[in-house]
Chains A and B, each alone.
Chain A
Amino acid sequence: EAEVAQSPRYKITEKSQAVAFWCDPISGHATLYWYRQILGQGPELLVQFQDESVVDDSQLPKDRFSAERLKGVDSTLKIQPAELGDSAMYLCASSSDRGQPQHFGDGTRLSIL
């Protein structure tokens, strides 16, 4: 069964450093999502792509977070500079189209020291 791939699985960095996460969605999936999940809470949408276009980034802290999906396939989420409060699990998901079931990757656990 096809899966969403994410890397790295774990990332430890110091505050004020830059950090980047990568996601490769299920082949053919047009919609890609980045979520942040704080321990003990449900995932919260940061940004949603439809092909290469951002269609929702209302919850993305744009002063420090950026996301891109240049060719409409894989995607990168970046944080610069990282802050202590950014420690969380960052999950990527994809779906064949908007409104279709979303499938998650294993996530990147980020710890900021």
Chain B
Amino acid sequence: GENVEQHPSTLSVQEGDSAVIKCTYSDSASNYFPWYKQELGKRPQLIIDIRSNVGEKKDQRIAVTLNKTAKHFSLHITETQPEDSAVYFCAANSGGSNYKLTFGKGTLLTVNP
């Protein structure tokens, strides 16, 4: 089955700096890669996703890049703010018809004012 690895497990940045979280996946048939933000005690919220037919997608301060050859994708947050502090999860779908998502173990991002 799909294996998704996420790094780093914790990341601390100063307000205004950029943050980058990286994930690798194992299933070459994967074609959908969402990112979720989960604040303490709250539901995971979809913040951005990318499909394998594009290499990059941006939404204001958030961007995701995908390298299908290397089987890795990354989340980039620019001009970080304290409210960006949360756990971020990447995920990749399996190549089967059910599009099952496998999640990474998460990255705890702390933005220091």
Contact indicator A98/B44 (Cβ below 8 Å): no
Secondary structure dominating the interface of B: strand
Partner-contacting stretch, out of A19-27, A60-68, A104-112: A104-112
Secondary structure dominating the interface of A: loop
- Decide yes or no whether A45 CB sits under 8 A from chain B: yes
- Measured CB to CB, the nearest residue on chain A to B94 is A56
Please indicate the chain A residues that have their CB under 8 angstroms from the CB of B93 in the complex. Answer: 99
Partner of B97 from A44, A45, A98, A104 at Cβ < 8 Å = A98
Contact indicator B42/A106 (Cβ below 8 Å): yes
Contact indicator A48/B98 (Cβ below 8 Å): yes
- Decide yes or no whether A103 CB sits under 8 A from chain B: yes
Please indicate the chain A residues that have their CB under 8 angstroms from the CB of B4 in the complex. Answer: 42
How far apart are B48's CB and chain A's nearest CB, in angstroms?
Answer: 10
- A residues touching B (Cβ–Cβ < 8 Å)? 4, 40-45, 48, 50, 55-56, 91, 98-99, 101-107
